[in-house]
Amino acid sequence: MITIKAEARKEQGKGASRRLRQAGKFPAIVYGGSEAPISIELDHDSVKNQELKEGFYGEVVTLSIDGKETKVKVQAVQRHPFKPKLTHIDFIRA
């Protein structure tokens, strides 16, 4: 099973997202189910390594958001147009 560490985002918006990406992280969101959507930040390199594993896109992934585990599936991935970088991921609760 794949586990990814995440932190809840404190700032929202374009400027905050750009600062995250410059720091080697990127924004993501978790939505679905009966709970409210959560904006999170992920470490780019650790997620990129997990993405290469078989089952990242098709199976249930565990997100550890500030110590609380949530089971999710990858809904959508946004990538940089020509660099091998992830820019955003949408997760849906499983």
Domain ranges of the chain: 3-93
pLDDT band at 1 (very low <50, low <70, confident <90, very high): confident
Percent of the chain at pLDDT exceeding 70: 100
Q: HSE (CB half, 13 Å, CA atoms) of 12?
A: 3
80-84 mean pLDDT: 96
CATH topology of domain 3-93: Ribosomal Protein L25; Chain P (2.40.240)
Distance CA 21, CA 71 (A): 25
Asked if 80 contacts 88 with a C-beta cutoff of 8 angstroms, the reply is: no
Mean of all residue pLDDT scores within the chain: 96
What is the average per-residue pLDDT within 5-25? Answer: 96
Residue 64 has pLDDT above 90, yes or no: yes
